[in-house]
Amino acid sequence: MGRVRLLLLFVLGMTRIGLCQSGELRAIGGTVLPGAVGHISLQWKNLVSVAPLDISIDAPGHFTFMGLPSLGSTSQGSSALLFMVHPYTPLGPHQIVIELQSGDRSIAECTAIVDVGKRYGIESSLLLEQRDRIEILHTNTGNVAIELGSETLLPGASIRAKYYPEQAREIQVFAVSKDWDSSYTVPLKKRFYPASSLVTFPKNQPLMDYHLQQQWMGQRSFSNTRVAFHEKNWHLNLNTWNRYIRGAATYRIGQNFLATGHRNFQGSHLIRPNITWYAQAAFNGWNMFVDEQSYGGGKRWVKEENELQLGGMGFGQALVPHVMLRLHKGRDYLSYENVGKLQEAAWGFKRGGWNSYGRLLHVPEQWTQRSLQQSNGVIGNSLSVGTFRLNQQSAFYQNHGELFHFHNAQIQLGSNGFQWITRGMYSSNGMARASSQATYRLGRHSISVRNQRAIVKARIQSLWMGQYYWRTPRSNFSLSAQHLMSGWTVRSYGGWSFRSYSLHV
């Protein structure tokens, strides 16, 4: 998965520090994954200003900033700007202009260079399945163009592909890019074909499925081969497309098996998977594996839905313990796994209308290259009693040794057409936000009042909004008023429709 690297260059003169008369301004960037949350740290001191400082940001549409803090004092301080990067953001650098303002006067200006890395992804949805025709929608969910057979899918683009299976039980999909590839199958329904219903296979004879395909487009060609072999306890499969080869052979008797091959493999779900040669085996609860980068083994005990495994994993000459525990009873569960100091715990408990869940992942600095994620955690609770609802969630994540946290909660209460909802949010950058909304519905009429307050450093921003709504099968009318800072905004909307005609005002 690609990453977003933030390289911040403050442009004022020829230095990386924004100077304004006798003051200075600094920015410290970080790294985030596409589609995740990133932050820009700001530090300032000795800025010449009388009124409190505000931040103005000019960013491309691919970046969404989650509220802008107020800088408050100009003598010295720091703040953080949280933003999200859209998964389809084009690869390469993007400029974000940050400006500090004091009233109507500009104090300092800087430019953030956001370098968006690669992110690959593809999704397939089965749209139509008939006896002689299959239609599948393929979507590029990454930000890099990929090749699907003879077609090229740009980021966010989709293609409706047609297949003619001829009694196939699945559709094989191959996606390729310059330094990435993926293959998977879309299963089909089991069907009864009278033409082959009387064909029988001797039980002591092997069964082999094969699929060969060659495509040409101009001066380029694409080929793929899929072979699957089954005989009693044996299962072999081989996939090839162009120069890429994946395959595995497995011999299984009950819970015991022996497998070897070349594919995407990981000894534990906490470890980053790699395309590698590997061998894996299990016998009477004992298991082992070895690949090009690691090896491991252990003993596994299973009783009903509970499981315990004790063993170890090795990376080169380093050997670390590997422990996995999973407990499950009714609607409650508890799990824990560690590979050395890389640890993960998850839990979930339900009692009547109360539900509690959580997940904590600890990734030491020396394990960041072997893990898919950095340290993070989520803890949540919910309560439901009659018409009363309470939801709470806290998220924690670590970025380059610095811990960030985010908390939110919601309370909902309703009765006889009346509903009241209040929400609250607080983040580690000092930003807090709370809102309350009351709504009453009577027949085709509804009226709602909402108040929202944002506390950023020492400043409080308040928003009031009221709305009346009326609706019939052919017409509707809405009147709303909003108060923000020192001004009011009033809006009205009406609509009417009859057969194929409609009017909106």
pLDDT tens string 54-89: 777 877 777 887 766 666 555 666 777 778 888 777
Q: What are the tokens at 282? A: 């299990």
Q: Which residues contact 373 (CB under 8 A, 6 or more apart)?
A: 361, 363
pLDDT, tens digit (0-9, with 9 covering 90-100), for 367-392: 888 887 888 899 999 998 888 999 99
Pair 347, 318: CB distance under 8 Å: no
6 within domain boundaries? no
d(CA 468, CA 94): 42
Q: Do 151 and 41 fall within a single domain? A: no
Same domain? For 424 and 344 the reply is yes
Tell me if 392 sits within 8 A of 411, measured CB to CB. Answer: no
Domain end (from 74, 90, 116): 116
What CA–CA distance (Å, rounded) separates 46 from 48? 6
221-to-48, 122, 182, 212 alpha-carbon distances in Å: 65, 22, 18, 14
Is residue 173, in this structure, part of any structural domain at all?
yes
User: Going residue by residue through the chain (505 aa), what tens digit of pLDDT does each one get?
Assistant: 444 333 333 333 223 333 333 356 666 666 667 777 777 777 777 666 555 667 778 777 778 877 666 665 556 667 777 788 887 777 777 777 777 777 667 777 777 777 777 888 888 888 887 777 788 888 888 888 888 877 888 888 888 888 776 656 677 788 888 777 777 778 777 654 444 444 455 555 567 777 777 766 666 666 778 888 888 888 888 888 767 788 899 999 988 999 999 988 888 888 888 889 999 999 999 999 999 999 999 999 999 889 999 999 999 888 999 999 999 988 899 999 999 999 999 999 998 889 999 999 998 888 888 887 888 899 999 998 888 999 999 988 887 777 888 899 999 998 888 889 998 888 887 778 888 989 998 888 889 998 888 876 656 777 888 889 888 877 888 888 888 666 788 888 788 877 667 677 6
91 and 135, same domain (yes or no): no
In a domain, 337, yes or no: yes
Sheet of strand 134-140: strand arrangement: 122-129, 134-140, 158-163
**274 in the same domain as 170:** no
Domain assignment present for residue 288? The answer is no
* Helices first, then strands: H and E counts in the chain: 0, 40
Q: For residue 147, what are the domain limits? A: 121-185
The two structure tokens encoding residue 414: 């309703």
* Maximum distance among all Cα pairs of the chain, rounded to whole angstroms: 92
Looking at the fold, whether 177 and 43 belong to one and the same domain comes out as: no
> Which residue in the block uniquely carries the two structure tokens 């029988």?
200
The token duo for 248 is 């595995």
What 3-state DSSP class applies to 221? strand
110, 99, 107, 108: which is closest to 50 by C-alpha?
A: 107
Is 311 a member of any domain?
yes
The answer to whether residues 95 and 168 belong to one domain is no
Tokens of 332: 């409650």
Looking at residue 437, which CATH number applies to its domain? 2.40.160
Reported residue count of the chain is 505
- CA separation for the pair 287, 299 (Å, rounded): 6
The answer to whether residue 319 sits within a structural domain is: yes
> Alpha-carbon Rg of the chain, whole angstroms?
29
Listed residues 150, 185, 220: the one ending a domain: 185
- For 365, phi then psi, to 5°, come to -60, -35
